[in-house]
Chains A and B, each alone.
Chain A
Amino acid sequence: MGYDPKNPMEGRISDLGPRYYGDFLPPVIKENKGKWLYHEILEPGVLVHVSETGAKVFTVRCGSPRLVSVNYVRDICDIADKHCDGFVRFTTRNNIEFMVDAFEKVAPLKETIKSYGNKFPIGGTGAGVTNVVHTQGWIHCHTPATDASGPVKAVMDDLFEYFGSMTLPAQVRIALACCLNMCGAVHASDIAILGVHRKPPMIDHARITGVCELPLAIASCPLGAVKPAKAIVNGEEIKSVQINAERCMFCGNCYTMCPALPMADAEGDGIAILVGGKVSNARSAPKFSKLVVPFLPNTTPRWPETVECVRQILVAYEKDAKKYERLGEWAERISWEKFFEKTGLPFTEKSIDDYRLAYDTWRTSTQFKYTSHTAAYTNK
Chain B
Amino acid sequence: MATIEHKGKSYEVDEDGFLLKGADEWDENWVDYVKGVEGIAEITDEHQKVIDALQEYYKKNGIAPMVRILSKTTGFPLKRIYELFPSGPGKGACKMAGLPKPTGCV
Binding site for B on A (CB under 8 A): 5-9, 181, 207, 209-216, 239, 256-259
For residue A259, which residues in chain B have a CB less than 8 angstroms away from its CB?
101, 103
Chain A nearest Cβ from B49, distance in angstroms:
21
| Inter-chain contact A211/B101, CB cutoff 8 Å | yes
A214 near B39 with CB under 8 A, answer no
Complex contact B63–A9 (CB within 8 A) = no
The answer to whether A213 and B100 touch across the interface, beta carbons within 8 angstroms, is yes
A213 with B19: CB separation less than 8 A: no
The 8 closest A-B pairs by CB, nearest first: A8-B39, A213-B63, A210-B22, A210-B20, A210-B21, A215-B62, A215-B63, A257-B103
With both chains docked as a complex, state the minimum distance between the C-beta of A74 and any C-beta of chain B, in angstroms.
32
Q: How large is the interface on B (under 10, 10 to 19, 20 to 34, 35 or more residues)?
A: 10 to 19
Chain A residues lying within 8 Å of B20, measured Cβ to Cβ, are 207, 210-211
Contact for A213 among B24, B62, B105, CB less than 8 A: B62
Any A CB within 8 A of the CB of B14: yes
A181: which B residues are within 8 A, CB to CB?
105
Interface residues of B in 54-82 (CB under 8 A from A): 58, 61-64
Q: A7-B39, A181-B105, A258-B103 are in contact. Are A211 and B14 (CB under 8 A)?
A: yes
Say if the beta carbon of B86 comes within 8 Å of chain A: yes
Q: Is B104 part of the binding interface, using a Cβ–Cβ cutoff of 8 Å?
A: yes
Write out the residue numbers on chain A whose beta carbons fall within 8 Å of the beta carbon of B101.
Answer: 211, 259
6 of the cross-chain contacts (CB-CB < 8 Å) are A8-B86, A210-B21, A213-B62, A213-B100, A216-B63, A256-B105
Q: Whose C-beta in chain A lies nearest to the C-beta of B20?
A: A210
**Which residue of B21, B22, B61 is within 8 Å of A215 (Cβ)?**
B61
Inter-subunit contact B104/A257 (CB<8 Å): yes
Measured CB to CB, the nearest residue on chain A to B21 is A210
Q: Are B103 and A256 in contact (CB under 8 A)?
A: yes
Query: Known contacts being A181-B105, A213-B63, A258-B103, is A5 close to B21, with CB within 8 Å?
Result: no
A144 to chain B, nearest CB (A): 13
Among A207, A213, A239, A257, which residue has the most Cβ atoms of chain B within 10 A? A213
Docked CA distance A6–B40 (Å): 9
Residues of B within 8 A of A211 (CB): 14, 20, 100-101
Chain B residues lying within 8 Å of A216, measured Cβ to Cβ, are: 63, 103-104
Residue of B nearest to A256 (CB): B104
* B103 neighbours in A (Cβ, 8 Å): 212-213, 216, 256-259
Asked if residues A214 and B105 are in contact (CB atoms below 8 Å), the reply is: no
Q: How far is the CA of A9 from the CA of B85 in the complex (A)?
A: 11
A6 to B38, CA, bound (A): 9
Q: Digit string of B83-105 for contact with A (CB within 8 Å is 1, else 0)?
A: 00010000000000000110111
Looking at the complex, which one of B19, B39, B62 makes contact with A5 (CB distance below 8 Å)?
A: B39
Residues of B within 8 A of A215 (CB): 61-63
Taken together as a complex, chains A and B put the C-alpha atoms of A210 and B22 apart, in Å, by: 5
Q: Which residue of A lies closest to B102 (CB)?
A: A213
Q: A5-B39, A6-B39, A209-B22 are in contact. Are A214 and B62 (CB under 8 A)?
A: yes
Cα distance, A257 to B104, chains bound together (Å): 5
Please, which residue of chain A has its CB at the minimum distance from the CB of B61? A215
Interface centre among B14, B20, B22, B39 (most CB of A within 10 A): B39
- Across the interface, name the chain B residue whose C-beta is closest to A214: B62
B100 nearest CB across to chain A (Å): 5
Specify which of A210, A211, A216 lies most central, judged by the most chain B CB atoms within 10 Å of its CB: A210
Residue on B with the closest CB to A219? Answer: B63
A residues less than 8 Å from B14 (CB atoms): 211
B61, B62, B101 pick with most chain A CB within 10 angstroms: B62
Q: Is the CB of B39 within 8 A of A210?
A: no
* A258 proximity list for chain B (CB < 8 A): 103
Q: How far is the CB of B42 from chain A (nearest CB, A)?
A: 14
